[in-house]
Amino acid sequence: MKILLTVQENCIAPRFDQATEIIIAEYDGQRLLGEPRTIILPHRSAEELSDLIVKEGVECVICGGIEESYHNFFIWKKIAVIDGIIGDHADALQRYLAGQLLPGMVLPQ
């Protein structure tokens, strides 16, 4: 399955619509398949980011704050959303893989 993290600098982007980069990791349920891909967005846009998420076939989005309309859209598209995450994106991914990432989690520095 594909997991997508919205990124700003080296952290989870505080707001979904303000993400400047995304990281897409592929996961077989036990381990990552290859290196996660970094994609730099040409500009900040929640709409274009949502299109990309759907086109890529992402199954789980890990993000910071997200507008309710986009959250509902992803749920409708059967894409899981773990939102309200604050902290380093690599740490967030590791916790997700360990089954320990919960919405609203603040990751230690």
Partner 1 sequence: MRPVKVLIVDWETEFAAIVANRLGSWGYAATVASSKEEAMAMLAEQHPDVIVLVLRDKESWGFDLVRLALAADQPAHVILLCGKGATTAGMRGMRLGAFDCLPLPLELGVLIDRIRTATGFNLSLADENGEF
- Of the candidates 76, 44, 52, 66, which has an alpha carbon nearest to the alpha carbon of residue 2? 52
Q: Give the residue, chosen from 2, 14, 15, 21, that forms a contact with partner 1 under the rule CB under 8 A.
A: 21
**What residues numbered 45-64 form the site for partner 1, per CB under 8 A?**
48, 52
| Residue number with CB closer to partner 1 (29 or 42) | 42
Give yes or no for residue 35 binding partner 1 (CB under 8 A).
yes
Helices (H), 32-103: 46-56, 68-76, 89-97
Alpha-carbon gap, residue 91 to 10, rounded angstroms? 10
If you search the block for the tokens 């993000």, which residue do you land on? 63
- Which region, judged by CB under 8 A, interacts with partner 1, from 38-46, 67-75, 90-98, 101-109? 38-46
* Binding interface with partner 1 (CB under 8 A): 20-22, 35, 37-43, 48, 52
